[in-house]
Amino acid sequence: MSAAEGQQHPISIYLWIWGLLFVLSGFSYLVDYMQLEGYLRWSLILLFMFLKAGFIVAIFMHMLWERMALITVILLPPILILFLIWFMVDEGDYTYLTRQVVFSAPDFVPEEPVHH
């Protein structure tokens, strides 16, 4: 096989990943069926979502067989954006809690203005 033809991967890899995606989808539906609530529910849903997306990108979009430079160019920006989103959420909690403390202080409430 010449380099111009490209690389061929065995069909069994795709079938195994297809089956794995089917099982992961079943698990995510099972989370809804079991009626889990709170952080456990959303953690499991996000975990299964990221696993499925990772397998699709790695295998079906052939990212697993690409050069490290291409992988870095494609994956690094979303990772940095997620970090910045996490940073903003963390800062937002700090700002919200600080405002609660300041605005609920008893000396914050202004007195009625005195008219002469």
Q: Spell out the domain ranges in the chain.
A: 10-65, 66-104
Whole-angstrom distance, CA of residue 92 vs CA of residue 86: 10
Residue 29 is classified by DSSP as H
Predicted confidence band of residue 102 (pLDDT cuts 50, 70, 90): confident
pTM of the model: 0.59
- Per-residue model confidence as pLDDT tens digits over 7-21: 677 888 889 999 999
- List b or e across 76-87, with b for residues whose CB sees 16 or more CB atoms inside 10 angstroms: eeeeeeeeeeee
